A and B are shown apart, each in its own frame.
Chain A
Amino acid sequence: MTTSAETVGKKFNIDTVENAAKTPDTELPWAELGLKQNEFDEVVKVLGRRPTGAELAMYSVMWSEHCSYKSSKNHLRQFGEKVTEEMKKDMLVGIGENAGVTNLGDGWAVTFKIESHNSPSFVEPYQGAATGIGGIVRDIISMGARPVAVMDPLRFGAIDHPDTARVMHGAVAGIGGYGNSLGLPNIGGEMVFDSVYQGNPLVNALAVGVMRHEDIRLANASGKGNKVVLFGARTGGDGIGGASVLASESFDDTKPSKRPAVQVGDPFAEKVLIECCLELFKGSLVEGIQDLGAAGISCATSELASNGDGGMQVELTSVLLRDPTLTPGEILMSESQERMMAVVTPENIAAFEAVMDKWAVEYSWLGEVTDTGRLIITWEGEVIVDVDPRTVAHDGPVYDRPFARPSWQDSVQADTFTGSVQDAGRPSTSGELAAAITELIASPNMCSKAWITKQYDRYVGGNTAMAFPDDAGVVRVDEETGLGVALATDANGRYTYLDPYHGAQLALAEAYRNVATSGAVPMAVSDCLNFGSPEDPDVMWQLAESIRGLSDACMELGVPVTGGNVSLYNQTGTVPIHPSPVVAVLGKLDDVARRTPSGWKEDGQAIYLLGTTAAELDGSEWSNLRGHLGGLPPKVDLSLERQLGEILINASRDGMIDAAHDLSEGGLAAALVESALRYGVGARIALEELLERDGVDLFTALFSESQGRAIVSVPRSEEVRFKDMCTARGFAHLRIGVVDAAGGKLEINGVDELSLDALNEAHEATLPKYFG
């Protein structure tokens, strides 16, 4: 199985390096491949001649926005710069590798990353979302880790738009169909409906994996004479996109004219690939490994070579193909899924092949590592690519895109909800407030997400200690000690639209708070920055401000960004999505048995509200329900978030609280209902003291989205200790009620009684109503 017979002797008009040197004036389709004039000129300058067709294919995909981060690179640097020594302490692998790696202690390490698969998921929701999971999982395997869980933050268009059902059904089924088949529990995510995402849904995917320190693998090709192998699925014509313009390479014009630009996933192949890779790692059979994602072989060869000793020689006809008509350029650009590339020493070849044969995984030896500093790719021995791999993988163009605060920003910020037309008739009577709470928790963004989550396997692996709808997903890593990790992802496009700098910080603050609410110590961050076109100075300003805000906040909270992804051009015509930096925070639990769930259970426990409430309704879910977006988002106070986190973590560790739920979208009203519905256990709540202390009315107390708050339930035996701890730390805390296990209702003084049955029905009915 060393060469693929069907490709040999294929009649292509191969554009060799020799030919390129001889024919400098040949017209090349660089514009159709997405390169700009200055970029093409740069390629010519780098090579000292015109590129061959194959080289052009490589540069065009590797210098694309998606692969090169050319518009965001100058800003992303801040994530690496705003880092203290203390933050680096537990970072084993930082930004730049397939995924960052964080030390968990006891010799354990964890790697996690979040990525976008937005546009494929709009074009073909099932396969787009499925391959989004597949790609991020392969990033995790590439680090030497066993993937242990996935999460899926999703943002769709308006819930009642006819196209939303198409995208929603497809994306959820794709995530489930792929993730469930891999044996990875889905432990959480997000679901937001907003018409700004109508033509640009955001399908982000997160994967987390664990490993022992000694098992960390990096993507580099070192050791002259070591062999380069491609294994997994065969290479096909899927995911090529612009490469069809390279068909001029072929004499044969009978091939399919329109190839799918969306990749097609095979979760079974990926599951086998996971187990197969873990067996390779176990036997120390690979020196370097890289998954094939965006830009396929172009990316894998150039990155492996430039991160290693700098040279590699590859024979492209050795690639196993699903479609024998593919041209060299197409083979280099194909984004066929479930493929990996590895570097293997000659003495390990037999052992490597034995593992492949055991798992019935196809492989082909493509070439070897050299010390020439060049990446040479041949076609039946003729050189079609001869480049310095760094120029492909790392030295792409970098743009300082112009950005400026949008002219409309001031007027948007001046348009506050309070007193607006939409604020007319604000609920105030006990009946109106009860109706408002019910309306809120039945609304598209606040309703139960069970319609989605019950399509995902949460149990597989046997280590899921907590999952949706609790604040964070919790997975056990070590069965003997109970060591585990907690993960949460958050973003609020509305807040970020109103104020990108603080909006991004609010996303971090919420994810951080969610992780701390579960009892875990926040350790690391991964971000998926979803924005519109960077060529629009308004959008570029949103991106720049968000990165600046997020990096400042990471520094202040002491949690480093270890990796992530940027997704630009999420816009329809000239209308961009809300800036949507999705932030994932990973935390550590010494013993997952101590995790804190969000729901009340024990009758008679005291319910405390931590933090204070201000009149902050701008950008809130309530204002969203009334069709208003303006003003300034809630105030961010990161030192307060840090203090709150410490209280929640200590209280969990010392057994002072049995339940905790953070306050975010929907404010106290949403948190109270969610904590009650979690186990069907109600409470009696009195907020008079809060209204007095914070100087707000009952409506504001219930619907404001002030930050740095959480509700906890405290066993009576722990109440004194808990209050003393909050007092000693000078953190605002107030007893607002008591758990009522028998009543079957949520009683709030000044609000008509809410039966849990009615709340549950309202909460659960929304998604089935729209999606069946």
Chain B
Amino acid sequence: MTELPLIGGAPVAVEPHLAGAKIGVVTFPGTLDDRDAARAVRLAGGTAVALWHADTHLADVDAVVIPGGFSYGDYLRAGAISRFAPLMSRIIDAANSDAKLPVLGICNGFQILTESHLLPGSMIKNDHLKFLCRDQVLRVENNNTLWTSDYEAGQEITVPLKNQDGQYIADDKTLDALEAEGRVVFRYVGWNPNGSRRDIAGISNAAGNVVGLMPHPEHAVEPGFGPESNAGTDGLGFFTSVLNKIVGGAQ
């Protein structure tokens, strides 16, 4: 049977010289946006490597994306079961090591990162209690992370948002620390779609190699298949940022 994620050879790579960089995309049972994340890596010019939650090694990838979905059905609490996957232990170790493995958690991936304590805080049900799918404007508050360096500081980008449990919460002390250290990476602009504290859409760890956000940059990488504004490719910068960093660092 032909591989049917429907991701064939794909259109032109943006930065062909980046193809040597390998970005792992993790699949848990119930992960939904893994093929989309892999496509985004490819469209950004990199090489996507499929990682399975039960793997016990990271296959020499240069960075990891934990994509969106409903891993383990969000049962118990979003991300609460996935965080115990064998591969997560490797990812946590590698992210905290001197090598500072770049890790991006999108939506359910963000939830898994907070459950793993790679990022502080937590996500609860949207304040309006419904699943919400919309094109969301975000402001890039910090372009010094490994995943945001191709954006301008303060740049506004539009990417899809789609989740049920997207309300970011943390205690005030944590929030104050995040603000003070410049670790609030993205903020919702125009309208806070889920009641997140201080309009926070995404944050990073102190070193800036681990970033998590609720909206979906991997769904804004190809004209005609993403948001209707700005050609719908505002999300590509996440992937080119890390790929440029990896390739630059290797030179």
Contacts and interface: CB of A to CB of B under 8 A. Distances in A.
Contact of B73 (A268, A358, A359, A480): A268
B29 interface: yes
A460 B36 contact: yes
B224 A267 contact: no
Interface string A207-229: 00011101100000000000000
A476 B73 contact: no
A25 interface: no
Contacts of A144: 1
Contacts of B4: 146, 210-212, 278
A271 B133 contact: no
Interface string A360-394: 10000000000000000000000000000000000
B73 A679 contact: no
A215 B11 contact: no
Contact of A181 (B5, B70, B160, B226): B70
Contacts of A272: 29-30
A457 B133 contact: yes
Nearest to B54: A358
Given A183-B69, A462-B219, A457 B35 contact: no
Contact of A479 (B11, B69, B164, B226): B11
A459 B224 contact: no
B33 A465 contact: no
Interface string A268-298: 1101100100100111100000000000000
Interface stretch (A172-180, A525-533, A757-765): A172-180
B29 A360 contact: yes
A584 interface: no
Contacts of B130: 173, 455
B245 to A, nearest CB: 24
A183 B7 contact: no
Nearest to B68: A460
A463 B32 contact: no
Given A148-B6, A459-B162, A212 B1 contact: yes
B75 interface: yes
Given A181-B30, A480-B8, A462 B225 contact: yes
Interface in B32-47: 32-33, 35-36, 39
Interface string B102-146: 000000000000000000000000000011111000000000000
B216 interface: yes
Contacts of A480: 8-10
B1 A278 contact: yes
Contacts of B35: 461-462
Contacts of B2: 212, 215
A465 B224 contact: yes
A146 B6 contact: yes
Contact of A458 (B10, B33, B133, B164): B133
A359 B30 CA distance: 10
Interface in B157-210: 160, 162, 164
Contacts of B216: 459
Given A181-B73, A268-B72, A479-B11, A282 B1 contact: yes
B36 A462 contact: yes
Contacts of B134: 454
Given A266-B73, A282-B1, A463 B6 contact: yes
A496 to B, nearest CB: 32
Nearest to A181: B70
Interface string A471-483: 0000011111000
Nearest to B4: A146
B156 interface: no
Contacts of A551: none
B224 A679 contact: no
Contacts of A210: 4, 6
B7 A479 contact: yes
A479 B219 contact: no
Contacts of B150: none
B152 interface: no
B93 interface: no
Contacts of B33: 183, 460
Interface string B59-74: 0000000000110111
Interface string A154-184: 0000000000000000000100110011110
B38 to A, nearest CB: 10
Contacts of A176: 131
Interface in B210-225: 216, 218-219, 222, 224-225
Nearest to B227: A459
Q: Which interface residue of B4, B54, B164, B222 has the most chain A CB atoms within 10 A?
A: B4
Contacts of A463: 6, 225
Nearest to A467: B133
Contacts of B32: 181-183, 271, 460
Nearest to A108: B2
B15 interface: no
A732 interface: no
A460 B39 CA distance: 12
B239 to A, nearest CB: 13
Nearest to B40: A462
A477 B6 contact: yes
A271 B70 contact: yes
A231 interface: no
Nearest to B134: A454
Q: Which interface residue of B3, B73, B131 has the most chain A CB atoms within 10 A?
A: B131
A479 B75 contact: no
Given A210-B4, A212-B1, A480-B8, A462 B222 contact: yes
Given A278-B4, A455-B131, A480-B8, 9 more contacts: A148-B6, A181-B32, A181-B73, A215-B1, A268-B73, A268-B75, A271-B70, A454-B132, A463-B6
Interface of A: 144, 146, 148, 173, 176-177, 180-183, 210-212, 214-215, 266-269, 271-272, 275, 278, 281-284, 358-360, 453-465, 476-480, 592-593, 679
25 contacts: A173-B131, A181-B30, A181-B73, A182-B32, A210-B4, A210-B6, A212-B2, A267-B70, A268-B70, A271-B32, A271-B73, A278-B1, A284-B1, A453-B133, A454-B132, A454-B134, A455-B130, A458-B133, A460-B219, A461-B6, A462-B36, A463-B6, A476-B6, A478-B8, A480-B9
- Across the A-B interface, the 8 shortest Cβ-Cβ residue pairs: A268-B73, A183-B32, A282-B1, A462-B36, A480-B8, A479-B8, A459-B219, A146-B4
